[in-house]
Amino acid sequence: MSRVLPSVPHAVSAAAPHAVSRANFLGLPTIQGRASLALLVWQITFVCAFAARVLLSALSLSQDLIGASMLPRIFISGALMDAITGLYLVLPFAVYLWLAPRRLYQSRVGRAMVFAGIALTIGTSLYLIASEYFFFDEFNARFNYVAVEYLIYPTEVLTNIRDSYPVYKVLSAAVAMSLSLTWVLRARIRAAFAESSSYGSRTLVMGGVALVTAATLAGVNLQTVQRGHERVANELAANGIYAFFSAARNAHIDYEAYYATLSTQEAATRVRHLLGQNNTQPSGGDNPFARHVDNRDLGPVRKMNVIVLLQESMGSEFVGSLGGRGLTPNIDRIAAQGMSFTHLYASGTRTVRGMEAVTTSLAPVPPESVVKRTNNEGLFNLASIAKQAGYAPTFIYGGYGTFDNMNAFFGGNGWKVVDRTDMPSAKFANIWGIADEALMDNALDVFDKQVARGEQVFSVVMSTSNHKPFTFPAGIPGVAEKGGGRDAGVRYADYAIGHFFDKLQTRPWAKDTMLVIVADHGARVYGRAEVPVSTYEIPLVIHAPAYIQPQRIDTLASQIDVGPTILGLLHLSYDSRLPGRDILRMKPEDGYAVFNHNRDSAMMRGDRVATLGFGKTMQTEIYDPVSKQLRPAPHDPQLESDAQALFQTSQQMFVSGLQKE
């Protein structure tokens, strides 16, 4: 019990005689009546947000993602965001307390509603602490656009969460604690029903709350607390709930209003220069990507089948031939017989970004891949050129292609879609799809039928098994059926690749087949930097021993360059609007990679990384591939301008329709 101290000033007590009475042990006014209930809900959200920040900061310190010297800023800025977020969350309840007639407010129904609402607030806040912990452990970030995207597909995502995390244990604990704490607070809650405040006094208090809310909406956002180059510290200073709704609100933004851009003419000039190679000629017109690619100097067109195995979460960190952990003996043996690209970077952190890069070569403009955007049909893409060259393009996926709009995107852009609905019932599957081994068998069956019909194969095969909940068929050497985590996922994905490769060699058409193995993205994004470059490193292996000599290509390149490089190896000449380039025609100094991370975009050339941030910010950093760290550097105007040009042109060509066939 707090002791009673002198009354608050007369002006305050007169303004709200029943909302504020005596002072508490801190010397601050004690809020009573209906206002005390709103304050209680605000306090619950604030304390739980503080607890989440303590937990996430401890995790970050243990992983050396932040330094102890950053904690004061993290907690001071974080307290501001938590206070504001709590204010927004309590508003609906405050409106009820303001407008509810005394008869309803003090009735059994009214009391039950309040008790239930407070219990729900406590339980939800506690559950969100655990949810944020697991999300942060995976992404080193607060809830962001990834979380928003996941909720669009609740069946797949919620089932994956249930199978991957101790959902029921956490939920049970949250319910038990919420009921217990509500019981502890029952006297304080009951006391609030004894007040007899007037509607006028409540209106005065609510007016003050509305003014404060309006001021925070106008003057405070994530950028207020997210300053400096320490990405993880900035994430910790944010509030998870606020960050989630900010990501949802900015899901469809005017790119030019929020990101640094150049004049259209300067951007076009720079893009034409960036894409120019010794075999290209600009086509003119309004699309700077348009050019003719002439590969006749390489020799006659190679009539090869093309199979692209787009591998879920297969970062370079696992691939032995790239200096990784050696979990991929099959990828390594295929790489030893083919062309291995040692310095390739994914364009994003989601599968749809990998699909966008490989098929359209567009730069990964935030916040959303073109795979999921509206009006994305009829785009000029890899299938456009393949079909002109006589191929029959297919997209083969072991899951349900309605997820992430895959079927609509590929089907609307010249690819025949084959997904789980077209495949026989598999012996093993989880929420994401059938096991990769079965997927590969089904893909081979599709290819055999195409060859029998006299069609040339050009296919993208998307795997699913290397993904939480990491469950696999029994009997695979070195792969636990469950509980093996990411290592088991990588080992199984590699096993399935070897299974496919060995079966492929038995086909008479295999000798004229180009097998491409490339990841959709790395396993997870982590690190202090705004764009954690090292986590974007992925393998690219191209195997066609009858046509391509074994070799390693060390040129810095991007996932958006995969398609044009394949076309170059086929010796095809074509009119192009793909913004990617043929890696094999690049000079070492010409290579660059492009990235998207949450709301930031970046371009790396040499050891310099130019990042375009939300709010028209730009910065240049130096990347150290040994320590895998970024450090601040003076602005590089040329690199920053090239980054602006490529990203804004990708956005403009898509939005304007000039990237359509």
Tally DSSP H helices, then E strands, for the chain.
Answer: 23, 21
Separation of alpha carbons 40 and 353, rounded Å: 43
The response to whether 394 counts as a known ligand-binding position is: no
Packing angle, helices 240-249 and 71-99, rounded to 10: 80
Strand partners, 600: 597
The response to whether 506 counts as a known ligand-binding position is: no
- Whether 351 sits among the annotated catalytic residues: the reply is yes
Q: Are 43 and 61 in contact (CB under 8 A)?
A: no
Closest to 568 in 3D by CA, of 325, 341, 319: 341
- 3-class SS of residue 529: coil
**In the block, which residue shows the tokens 């993602």?**
65
Backbone angles phi, psi at 541, to 5 degrees: -125, 130
Structure tokens, 231: 């990405």
Among residues 351, 513, 535, 649, which one is catalytic?
Answer: 351
Structure tokens, 311: 């591998």
Q: Are 330 and 539 in contact (CB under 8 A)?
A: no
Rg of the chain's alpha carbons, rounded to an integer?
Answer: 28
Separation of alpha carbons 194 and 14, rounded Å: 19
The residues near 28 (Cβ < 8 Å, ≥ 6 apart) are none
Q: What is the DSSP string of 308-359?
A: EEEETT--GGG-GGGTS-S--HHHHHHHHTSEEEEEEE-S-SSHHHHHHHHH
Structure tokens, 97: 């307390």
The response to whether 467 counts as a known ligand-binding position is: yes
Closest to 528 in 3D by CA, of 64, 147, 62: 64
Query: Which of 602-632 are b and which e, b meaning 16 or more Cβ less than 10 Å from the residue's Cβ?
Result: bbbbeebbbbbbbeeebbbbebeeeeebbee
The residues near 10 (Cβ < 8 Å, ≥ 6 apart) are none
The response to whether 520 counts as a known ligand-binding position is: yes
Strand partners, 23: 29
Q: Are 414 and 393 in contact (CB under 8 A)?
A: yes
Separation of alpha carbons 363 and 385, rounded Å: 19
Q: List, by residue number, the catalytic residues.
A: 351
User: Which segments are annotated as binding site for substrate?
Assistant: 467
User: Which segments are annotated as binding site for Mn(2+)?
Assistant: 312, 351, 520-521
